[in-house]
Amino acid sequence: MKSTQIVLALAAAGLAAAGGYGLYQLGREQGMQTAAPAAGAAQSGSSAQTVGAVDPATGRKVLYWHDPMVPGQKFDKPGKSPFMDMQLVPVYADDAGDDGKVSISPRVQQNLGIRTAEVARGKLASAVQAVGSVAYNERDLEVVQARSNGFVERLYVKAALDRVKQGQPLAQLYVPDWIAAQEEYLSIRRMGKVAGTEGLLDAARQRMRLAGMTDDLIRRVESTGKVQARLTIVAPISGVIAELGAREGMTVMAGAPLFRINGLRTVWVNAEVPESAAAQVRPGNPVEARTPALPDTVIKGKVGAILPEVNAATRTLKARIELANPGGRLVPGMFVTVSLSQSARKDMLLVPTEAVIQTGTRSVVMLAQGGGKFQPVEVETGAEANGQTEIRKGLEAGQQVVVSGQFLIDSEASLKGTETRLTGTSAADNKAAGGLTHHGAGKIEKIDKDEITISHGPIPSLQWGAMTMGFKPPAAGLPSNIAVGDSVVFDIRPTQDGRFEITGIAPTADAPAPGGKADKTGAEK
């Protein structure tokens, strides 16, 4: 009886095990059949994700894929970048610019601090700023000379740069040669009204003039009836003694310069005007001058002349400005800042000066086109004043230009693969110019027939950090002294297919590989 129960129990257990195994196999087959179509659908969906398709993960339309490090090269399907070890990145229709535009969301614009201003028509009353120094007005100059041979008996002004007033005595001269002429005149005069003496008197008077006597001195001889052998020289104008050629006791000859007096009623400022602004400065233009010596004073004047000479060292012209000098407060050598005003010119396009970017070869503004789209536009600029710049060509009134954040927009354009940049470079430009050359240094990791893999350091001109990537070998082939493991310096340039070709490469014993140090023999540690 017991044996029969054991057999029945074993049989029941076997049937249960067989049933469980059958159910396991049935479930496994059904699961595989269900998973296969799903996997196939997923694989099909991935392979179907091409240009123009909608990314199922984001629901956004894909325009193309690109490598952010080589944004100019576009691909029509996802995959691994041919330039370096990374996956291609999709560019979506609502992110990428078209026709050189870049699209930036309002939130990103706010983060970048982008400000815009309107292109408007207006007047530009420009003023040229220049610096110069005060000089004597050479037209307000008097030279006092000795009229006859004599001696300096007394000198009233004894130092150069002494101030004098008009009519002030300067020196007293004793002139012996005048005595004979005056005695002759007085003798004829004492003869009285004798026939023929009138003609003799006129002749004697004329001889005194020829001897160098002034009319005042001759009248004094006539009025006093005495010989006047001494002459007091007085200042003909008010000013300063620029040159002093007399000393007490010295003998002077006829025509010898005794004093040179410069007037101070007006002075000249010789201002250095930039050559580029020379066309804006004309004789007669009003001028406002300021000097640190008179901080609260604005001195008005006008441009007297533009000297016809350019300073070869500073590329400036000299504008001669005449300033009034009440009180004689402006003195030669004083530093002056001048503002040369112009008449306002009408009907011109104006933008804030900070909106204009000078790239070195052209002037560019970043045009805001609405909807978060921006595009660099080349413009022709004109005059500039008061923070405004004239736009002669390239813009229209009413357009909006970016005045803050232009370079951040340019960086955004680079990241998104927009070809037109502030610098004006694009794939077409590189093709026409043969590509721009960039310099780097690193270590050769691998050499193949069509590619050289280099672990290089940062390349600032491309905004690249340190990385390992492959380059096309030089067209003429590698030098014979280049091998795997060598530290090298190299030059690269972009090619038409978006890759970078080595144009020059040479080993260096002093250039360590990225991340390593080199000893004196060049071996990496």
Q: Among 234, 259, 284, which residue terminates a domain?
A: 259
386 and 437 part of one domain: no
Token reading at 349: 């396009």
pLDDT class of 41 with cuts at 50, 70, 90: very low
Structural domain contains residue 477: yes
pLDDT class of 135 with cuts at 50, 70, 90: very high
**Position 76 pLDDT exceeds 70:** yes
155 and 249 part of one domain: yes
Distance of CA 1 to the CA centre of its chain: 114
pLDDT class of 36 with cuts at 50, 70, 90: very low
Query: Please, what is the angle between helix 215-224 and helix 197-210, to 10°?
Result: 130
Residues 62-73 have pLDDT tens digits of 777 877 666 667
Structural domain contains residue 456: yes
416 and 438 part of one domain: no
DSSP one-letter string for 175-218 = -THHHHHHHHHHHHHHT-S-TTHHHHHHHHHHHHHHTT--HHHH
**pLDDT score, position 155:** 93
**pLDDT score, position 134:** 93
Can you give the three-state secondary structure of 448-463, one letter per residue? CCCCEEEEECCEHHHC
Structural domain contains residue 404: yes
419 and 458 part of one domain: no
182 and 114 part of one domain: no
For residue 147, the tally of other CB atoms under 10 A from its CB is 20
372 and 466 part of one domain: no
pLDDT class of 373 with cuts at 50, 70, 90: confident
Domain that holds residue 364: 102-125+346-424
Query: DSSP state, 153?
Result: E
414 and 387 part of one domain: yes
415 and 445 part of one domain: no
Q: Among 224, 259, 294, which residue terminates a domain?
A: 259
What value, to the nearest 5°, has the Cα angle with vertex 340 and ends 336 and 345?
165
Residue 408 sits in a domain whose CATH number is 2.40.420.20
Cβ–Cβ under 8 Å, residues 272 and 311: yes
Residues 141-158 have pLDDT tens digits of 999 999 889 999 999 998
Cβ–Cβ under 8 Å, residues 290 and 298: yes
**What's the domain count of the chain?**
3
**Position 382 pLDDT exceeds 50:** yes
Higher pLDDT, 48 or 375: 375
Residues 462-486 have pLDDT tens digits of 778 888 888 989 887 888 888 899 9
Structural domain contains residue 302: no
DSSP H or E stretch at residue 352: strand 345-352
415 and 488 part of one domain: no
Residue 222 sits in a domain whose CATH number is 2.40.50.100
**pLDDT score, position 157:** 92
Structural domain contains residue 417: yes
Structural domain contains residue 289: no
Which of 103-132 are b and which e, b meaning 16 or more Cβ less than 10 Å from the residue's Cβ? bbeeeebeebebebbebeeeebebbbebeb
Weakest-pLDDT range from 64-68, 129-133, 414-418: 414-418
**pLDDT score, position 13:** 54
Q: Among 403, 424, 445, which residue terminates a domain?
A: 424
Return the percentage of the chain with pLDDT > 90, whole number. Answer: 17
Residues 304-362 have pLDDT tens digits of 888 888 888 888 889 999 998 888 888 899 999 988 876 556 678 899 988 888 876 78
Structural domain contains residue 191: yes
pLDDT class of 10 with cuts at 50, 70, 90: low
190 and 243 part of one domain: yes
Residues 485-507 have pLDDT tens digits of 999 989 898 887 767 889 888 88
For residue 413, the tally of other CB atoms under 10 A from its CB is 26
208 and 236 part of one domain: yes
DSSP one-letter string for 49-62 = --TTPBPTTT--BE
**pLDDT score, position 153:** 92
Residues 6+ apart with CB under 8 A from 169: 156, 232, 233, 234
Structural domain contains residue 336: no
Cβ–Cβ under 8 Å, residues 282 and 321: no
Higher pLDDT, 416 or 290: 290
Closest to 93 (Cα-Cα) out of 53, 51, 62, 59: 62
108 and 173 part of one domain: no
Residues 151-194 have pLDDT tens digits of 999 999 989 989 999 999 999 999 988 888 888 888 888 877 66
Closest to 454 (Cα-Cα) out of 83, 133, 101, 109: 83
Residue 482 sits in a domain whose CATH number is 2.40.50.320
Residues 252-295 have pLDDT tens digits of 998 899 999 999 899 999 998 888 777 778 888 888 899 988 88
For residue 342, the tally of other CB atoms under 10 A from its CB is 18
**pLDDT score, position 432:** 42
**pLDDT score, position 163:** 92
